[in-house]
């Protein structure tokens, strides 16, 4: 017998409430019944996005919402700055290239703290139309200081666009208070749903102005259509009805727990993973000053085959964590602390990690990682 557990940075485990909602009979999307559901979903999203402005629901994965941001805000030849500190920062660069945007890439060493001064300097040219950043860089386990970035961008003509696909509902992002113009996210990470929904908030006049001016080709992801439809509590095309129904179940859970408490819970889980890794003599990939609440990347110790470690945990013991991406392939593993996860899920994953590390010949005191995590979880608040 094998039980399966998911501790990956998307998809994340589904709560029973979400599964139950997904099992409901389908209803038609152009009905008052569904309009009420859609309204509730958008209200709930506004709470999680921490904005009073529109949040649009797209039938796509998170990358669709990223593409919507680029296609709607910019036109070929426009200049944009991309803060790129990992695999997902690179996605902004690739998207901008696809749309012919003149991209200035600020390379941040993977796992290192971002120095805001470089952004401030680059913004001085006054040519930048948009700055693209990432709340949680899932590939490296780094959270970016979006508040500081927003502060810098606010004093320029540019809009700030944040990829909060893995960070939303895990890492604090005060969209309105900090002045973040556009935020994109997806359903399968902090929001505890299957993949399939993309979200995008537009919270400033500055951003709407760009959207109305853009001459980039767009059709399915045209936010002008989404805005117009929303005036009638509608979507321009058939939406993912069942996922939206399930979204309300997930958003209700977030609301019941309280966003601040969700942040705290995830932060504590990440802290447990970090302390366990250190106790096991392992090195964390990200610097302490920027380590993420949503995901922890741990370096694979010398002499251990990182890919085999992850594969054994998954295929032999049913515990799925993530390996390293791109340049971290085989060199790191990543344990998520987002969505429907609890301290004992982390304990379970750590116990499996210890077992497999031990089997692979890595020398450490069995139980020392678990003990360190337990000590973190014993602390109230």
Cα separation, 148 vs 125, in Å, equals 19
**93 contributes a contact to ligand PLP by CB under 6 A:** no
Q: Is 59 in the site for ligand PLP (CB under 6 A)?
A: no
**Is-contact 157 183, C-beta < 8 A?**
no
Angle, helices 241-257 vs 259-279, to 10°: value is 80
Give the list of residues 6+ apart from residue 288 with CB closer than 8 angstroms, or none.
none
374 binds ligand PLP (CB under 6 A): no
Find how far residue 179's CA is from the centre of its chain. 19
Candidate segments 45-53, 98-106, 113-121, 161-169, binder of ligand PLP by CB under 6 A: 161-169
Look at the block and give the residue holding tokens 């993530």.
322
Asked whether the beta carbons of 150 and 324 are under 8 A apart, the reply is no
d(CA 164, CA 156): 22
Which CB, 130 or 357, lies closer to ligand PLP?
A: 130
Residue 242 binds ligand PLP, judged by CB under 6 A: no
111, 186, 236, 324: residue in contact with ligand PLP (rule CB under 6 A): 186
| Spatial contact of 283 and 222, defined as CB atoms under 8 Å apart | no
Indicate whether 325 belongs to the interface with ligand PLP (CB under 6 A). Answer: no
Task: Give the span between the Cα atoms of 350 and 142, in whole angstroms.
Answer: 21
Query: Which range of residues in 28-36, 98-106, 160-168, 232-240 is near ligand PLP by CB under 6 A?
Result: 160-168
What CA–CA distance (Å, rounded) separates 70 from 74?
A: 6
Q: Per rule CB under 6 A, is residue 138 in the interface with ligand PLP?
A: yes
Looking at beta carbons only, is 62 or 236 nearer to ligand PLP? Answer: 62
Contact 277, 295 (CB under 8 A): no
Total residues at interface with ligand PLP (CB under 6 A): 15
- Lateral strand order in the sheet of 102-107: 54-58, 198-202, 182-186, 159-163, 128-134, 79-84, 102-107
What secondary structure letter does DSSP report for 57?
Answer: E
**Would you say 96 or 352 has its CB closer to ligand PLP?**
96
Residue 61 binding ligand PLP, by CB under 6 A: yes
Is the CB of 156 or the CB of 166 nearer to ligand PLP?
A: 166
The answer to whether residue 134 forms part of the interface with ligand PLP (CB under 6 A) is yes
Residues 278-317 that bind ligand PLP (CB under 6 A): none
Minimum distance from CB of 322 to ligand PLP (Å)?
Answer: 10
Radius of gyration of the chain (CA): 21
Q: Is 339 near ligand PLP (CB under 6 A)?
A: no
Contacting range for ligand PLP; rule: CB under 6 A; set: 14-22, 134-142, 146-154, 344-352: 134-142
Residues 6+ apart with CB under 8 A from 260: none
Q: Which is nearer to ligand PLP, 163 or 172 (CB)?
A: 163
CA dist 314 and 294 (Å) reads 20
Which is nearest to 336 in space by CA: 317, 326, 350? 350
Cβ 9 to ligand PLP shortest distance, Å: 6
88 binds ligand PLP (CB under 6 A): yes
C-beta closer to ligand PLP: residue 53 or 61: 61
Rounded to whole angstroms, how far apart are CA atoms 44 and 50?
Answer: 10
In the list 163, 172, 222, 354, the residue contacting ligand PLP (rule: CB under 6 A) is: 163
Nearer to ligand PLP, 79 or 166 (CB): 166
Locus of tokens 């209803």: 27
Query: Nearer to ligand PLP by C-beta: 191 or 279?
Result: 191
Residues 187 to 216 in contact with ligand PLP, rule: CB under 6 A? 195
Residues that bind ligand PLP (CB under 6 A): 9-10, 61-63, 88, 91, 134, 136, 138, 163, 165-166, 186, 195
């Amino acid at each position: 017998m094998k039980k399966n557990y998911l501790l990956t940075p998307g998809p994340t485990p589904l709560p029973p409430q979400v599964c139950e909602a997904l099992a409901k009979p389908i209803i038609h999307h152009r009905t008052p019944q569904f309009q009420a559901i859609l309204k509730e979903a958008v209200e709930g999203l506004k709470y999680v996005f921490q904005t009073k402005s529109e949040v649009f629901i797209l039938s796509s994965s998170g990358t669709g919402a990223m593409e919507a941001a680029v296609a709607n805000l910019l036109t070929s030849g426009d200049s944009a700055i991309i803060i790129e500190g990992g695999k997902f920062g690179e996605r902004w660069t690739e998207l901008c290239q696809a749309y012919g945007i003149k991209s200035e890439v600020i390379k941040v060493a993977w796992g290192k703290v971002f120095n805001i001064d470089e952004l401030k300097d680059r913004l001085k040219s006054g040519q930048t139309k948009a700055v693209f950043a990432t709340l949680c860089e899932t590939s490296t386990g780094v959270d970016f200081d979006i508040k500081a970035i927003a502060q810098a961008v606010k004093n320029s003509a540019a809009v700030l666009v944040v990829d909060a696909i893995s960070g939303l509902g895990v890492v604090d992002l005060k969209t309105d208070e900090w002045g973040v113009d556009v935020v994109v996210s997806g359903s399968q990470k902090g929001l505890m749903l299957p993949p399939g929904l993309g979200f995008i908030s537009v919270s400033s006049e500055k951003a709407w102005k760009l959207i109305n001016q853009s001459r980039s080709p767009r059709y399915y992801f045209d936010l002008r259509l989404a805005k117009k439809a929303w005036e009638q509590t509608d979507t321009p095309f058939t939406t993912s009805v069942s996922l939206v129904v399930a979204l309300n179940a997930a958003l209700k859970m977030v609301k019941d727990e309280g966003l601040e408490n969700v942040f705290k819970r995830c932060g504590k889980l990440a802290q447990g993973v970090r302390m366990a890794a250190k106790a096991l003599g392992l090195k964390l990939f990200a610097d302490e000053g920027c380590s993420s609440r949503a995901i922890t990347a741990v370096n694979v110790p010398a002499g251990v085959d990182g890919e085999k470690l992850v594969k054994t945990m998954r295929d032999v013991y049913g515990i799925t964590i993530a390996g390293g991406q791109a340049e971290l392939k085989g060199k790191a593993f990543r344990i998520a602390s987002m969505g429907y996860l609890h301290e004992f899920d982390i304990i379970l994953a750590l116990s499996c990690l210890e077992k497999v590390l031990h089997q692979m010949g890595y020398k450490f005191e069995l139980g020392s990682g678990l003990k360190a995590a337990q000590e973190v979880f014993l602390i109230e608040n």
